[in-house]
Amino acid sequence: MSTLPYSPGLEGVVAGETSICTVESGLSYRGYSVGDLAEHCSFDEVAYLLLYGELPNAKELQAFIARVAAARRLPPPLKDLFAALPKWTTPLDSLRTAVSALGHFDQDAADNSHDANLRKAERLLAQIPVAIADQFRIAKGLQPVLARQDLGQAANFLFMLRDAEPSPEEVKAMDVSLILYAEHEFNASTFAARVIVSTLSDIHSGITGAIGALKGPLHGGANEKVMDILLAAGGPDNAEAWTRAALARKERIMGFGHRVYKAGDVRAGILKTYAREAARVAGATKWEDTADIIEGVMAAEKNMFPNLDWPAGRLYHAMKLEIPLYTPIFAMSRISGWAAHVVEQLDNNRLIRPRALYKGPAPRTAKPLRERG
């Protein structure tokens, strides 16, 4: 019997070192609290911070935005692929395929140097929102919309998706959500990316694997389940009874609880303000009222509090974004964190190869086939 320590799900296990992010004493990116960044910075600034280690000055930011904007284009074969995908293909599945395909067209694909990985990271930061918007429109029989060079990430994505200028309030809400989703230490998708590139694989392989990990409802897919819960609850009048009945049936209420945050997720509190304001503008505050009641029951009965997915799902719904886009939006934010971790892993690499606690049969001898009854 092995004497190695074991923690199911690797809970509490330190699996590596990072200078990118910590969840100790609240979430911070490279030393800046996420609340401070959400209040004072744009997502473009935060993406630069994650990739380059420091917040940019005005000249650095202008050059970074220009480089990303110039890379907002896809190889033509990728649009042909989107058109050929089966109609049931989800936006996240198509994005996973798109990132893998983009690796074939990147001139730095085989170069794992620090500078080349940063160049590829910037291109993926630019290409992922384009891939999401283009595939979504093609699947609906609409023409893709050309990217705008004069817009930041949040504004350009909304413009490409809708072919209409978003309001400043929508841009700000989307921008804050991207900041809050950008990075979260050794979460499942980030760790998957680090494991992949620790073999000296490439960034496109790592990000493709990360998107695969993000797909699961216990990770990124949770934000897509939020409106299912609210719609099932039916509204404020029925919310408390519905929640208590769901708990009695031992159903999992998605959007609550977190492996790391036991007393609540600071990101959820920040985004809740934007979700309610978007709901007010949309004339749909009943879902915010419903959410408040569900939150109260979950706190009282289970001592569980909302995570970021809870207000994010409501915000995107109030912005009239279709549910299958919610997790891809998570990905177009988290690419900044994923890429930063890929660069960090490869800059000081050691193959990630944990051990397993064996629970199988004791040693035994294999009999020849003729002797096995």
Which one of 184, 204, 219, 258 is the catalytic residue? Answer: 258
DSSP element (H, E) containing 371: none
Decide if 258 is catalytic.
yes
Instruction: Note every long-range contact of 196-201, with CB atoms under 8 Å and residues 24 or more positions apart, other chains counting.
Output: 197/342, 197/345, 197/346, 197/349, 198/345, 198/349, 198/350, 198/351, 198/352, 199/351, 200/112, 200/346, 200/349
Question: What does the DSSP 8-state code read for residue 33?
Answer: E
Q: Catalytic: 309? A: yes
**Residue pointed to by tokens 């202008």:** 62
Buried b / exposed e along 143-182 (16+ C-beta atoms within 10 A): ebbebeeebbbbbbbbbbbbeeebeeebbbbbbbbbbbbb
Catalytic entry in 93, 134, 265, 309: 309
Residue 28 β-bridge partners: 22, 33
Cα–Cα dist 305/296, whole Å: 9
Please give the positions annotated as active site: 258, 309
